[in-house]
Structure 1
Amino acid sequence: MSTRFASDRGLTSRMVVTMFLLGLLYVVFVGALIALGVRALSVLLIAGVMLLAQYFLSDRIALFAMGGREVSPQEAPELHGLIDRLCAMADMPKPRVAVADSDVPNAFATGRNQKKAVVCVTTGILRRLEPEELEGVLAHELSHVAHRDVAVMTIASFLGIVAGLMTRFALYSGLGSRRDGNQGGLPIGLIVMLASILVYAVSFLLTRALSRYRELAADRAGALLTQQPSALASALTKVSGEMARIPTRDLREAEPFNAFYFAPALKQGHTLAGLFSTHPPLQRRLENLAKISAQLGRG
């Protein structure tokens, strides 16, 4: 389903390369398991069920986990009005609209496709942002919906799930068996466990890189749709700064959902290393938005 959200060929090509590397890693990993004679069918089946559940129920799971509640146009007329306007501009169907009662200023979108999508904002972000800033955030989230980023990231995470399960499988079932049936070789379970850990680590880094690319792409698409990159930059700066005022306990509760959020729920100066982050550094996002402003010839 096409929309008017702009694409970024450079970022798109990087995402394609990352997905290709993840797929190649998966093929090599499964091939190695087969060569070792490991019966991984049960692990693959379990991982497949988890993938399907996450794919088809992502909207319900995310809303439940984050305490989101769907709201009607009568309950949140301004919020619905902004989303109606953006959806008309983007030529896309309107997603469900939800609000989460949390002081953490953030927003997220989820759902496997545009028909099953939901956009959720927290009460914290509604209190803090001006209408044009909130519009920029919502355009960013609608870009995730239009580009099916939830489906992409769910599929991308599959290999990490398989590798993690294989590590546990090796720990609990195969550490004692020897390669080639003799006492001179390494235990097959140990080989599988080490390979699984390595595959998990590589897939983790690739998935994090893919997540950062999609955030940059959503920034760009949202800014071009509204033609107001400075509003999105202002929202990013304000949300990131407000995180310093949120109690640490509340931020820790929100951290497991950082991959969904518009901005990571972390205090400034306490972010993880760039390789492990689900989001690009704030400065990089602001620089990219500044470039878009220069291209558009406005602030």
Structure 2
Amino acid sequence: MARTRFIPDRGLTVRMATTMVLLALVYAAFVVALLWAGMPWWLVLLVVGGVALVQYFASDRIAMAALGAREVTPQQDPELHAVVDRLCALADMPKPKVAVAHTDVPNAFATGHSRGSTMVCVTTGLRRRLDNVELEAVLAHELSHVAHRDVAVMTVAAFLGIVAGFLVQAGTRFALLTGGGRSREGGPAPAVIALLVVVISAIVWALSFLLTRALSRYRELSADRAAAYLTARPSALSSALVKISGDMARIPTQDLRQVEPFNAFFFTPALSGKGVSLSALLSTHPPTEQRLAQLAEISRQLGRGA
């Protein structure tokens, strides 16, 4: 991570590096398998390369547009900028861009594929529900993601799953449309090739899904720790978590489903399972109870050190 006053997290660094290496191996095997299945090399290059470029360079703008967020200047929102300025000075880190999303869904997120494109965004619903101390704690959590550079890693890690998911849908439709006849050259039927692509893509999607979900859950716990130690107010982050989790149940399900695809980048998921269940194991975030327990332990440690 970049040099800041956020506590370093070797576990996060190791997990990010391991995830990227494993995904690179899966990615290489994915390309080879697609070529083996009979997919033209130019189509593989077009789909895989094209989606990679869009995901890396445009994912942040796509997310901002989908959530209706816009960048705000210090003149437009001096209060929000003052909080970010104070935290960046405390953490000794460059200040990212600041944005506001006009939605009642209470949340915050950080995005950006490079240092120059990083941005922290809060929703109007979040600001309406939290006091200044709680808002500062949530923004410290998001700035920790920026400092640890796990936003960029998650952006890259998500790309493989997007490609695989696209090929599963496209291959299924193609197989249904072409039927089971043999090709004109006497080789395998186009439908057979399409089904091979679907099977390969489904396996790759599942592997990338599990890898990125495991990394996502750990990075949220890491950001909670870093924010709690930086502000020395773990109780403020706990209070924000309780408020947001409780109020999320009162938001219309339709509104929550509209923002659910961006769960991996949110402070807390828009929709999530509770307790130890399959949905919790596959979630982008650890259970709220686990996050609160960690913050309670940090509070005890800070109390003993005082």
Q: Which residue is equivalent to 2:258? A: 253
Match of 1:195 in 2: 200
1:30-179 to structure 2, matched below 5 A, reads 30-168=31-169, 170-171=171-172, 172=174
Q: With structure 1 as the length reference, what TM-score do the two structures score?
A: 0.87
8 A Cα contact 1:44 1:162, kept in partner: no
Cα distance, 1:240 vs. partner? Answer: 0.5
Where does the alignment leave 5 or more consecutive residues of structure 1 unmatched?
A: none
Partner residue of 1:229 out of 225, 229, 234: 234
Task: Give the counterpart letter for 1:190 in structure 2.
Answer: L
**1:47 and 1:161 in contact (8 A); partners too:** no
For residues 20-49 of structure 1, what are the alpha-carbon distances to aligned partners after superposition, in whole Å with 9 as ceiling and x for unaligned? 222222222223334445324323322322
Q: In the alignment, is the contact (CA less than 8 A) between 1:177 and 1:188 conserved in 2?
A: no
Deviations 1:203-242 (A, max 9, x none): 1121111211221221112112112112111111111111
**C-alpha distance in 1 between matches for 2:16 and 2:250:** 34
Deviation at 1:8, TM superposition (A): 1.9
> SS at the partner of 1:2?
coil
Query: What CA distance in whole angstroms lies between the structure 2 residues aligned with 1:60 and 1:170?
Result: 28
Q: TM-score, normalised by structure 2?
A: 0.86
The residue type equivalent to 1:2 in the other structure is R
Structure 2 residue 289 is the aligned partner of structure 1 residue 283: yes
CA distance 1:46–1:73, change in 2 (3 Å)? same
Distance in 2, matches of 1:37 and 1:54, equals: 26
- 2:32 and 2:129 map into 1 onto residues whose CA distance is 52
- DSSP-derived class of the 1:245 partner: coil
Q: Identify the range of structure 1 (137-146 vs 37-46) with the bigger mean alpha-carbon deviation.
A: 37-46
Q: Which residue of 2 aligns with 1:293?
A: 299
Change in Cα spacing, 1:277 to 1:177, as seen in structure 2 (3 Å) is farther
> What is the aligned-residue RMSD (CA, Å)?
2.9
Give, in angstroms, the shift of residue 268 of structure 1: 7.2
Give the Å deviation of 1:133.
0.8
| Residue pair 2:16, 2:150 contacting (<8 A) in 1 also | no
C-alpha contact (below 8 Å) 1:47/1:158 kept by paired residues: no
Match of 2:218 in 1: 213
CA distance in 2, matches of 1:146, 1:202: 27
Amino acid paired to 2:270: A
**Which string of whole-angstrom CA distances, capped at 9 and with x for unpartnered residues, describes residues 134-160 of structure 1?**
111001111111222232112112222
Counterparts in 2 of 1:187 and 1:296: CA distance versus 1, 3 Å: same
Amino acid of the structure 2 residue aligned with 1:286: L
Secondary structure, in 3 states, of the residue corresponding to 1:69? strand
Distance 1:170 1:279, change over 3 A: same
Distance 1:177 1:88 in 2: 66
**Residues 1:292 and 1:269: Cα distance change in structure 2 (over 3 Å):** closer
Counterparts of 2:298 and 2:119, CA distance in 1: 27
CA distance in 2, matches of 1:58, 1:221: 26
Counterparts of 1:240 and 1:272 in 2: how far apart (Å)?
A: 19
Change (3 A) 1:2 1:42: farther
Deviations 1:170-193 (A, max 9, x none): 442786569xx678xx94443332
Asked if the contact 1:109/1:118 (under 8 Å) is kept, the reply is: yes
For the 8 Å contact 1:240–1:268, the answer to whether it is kept is no
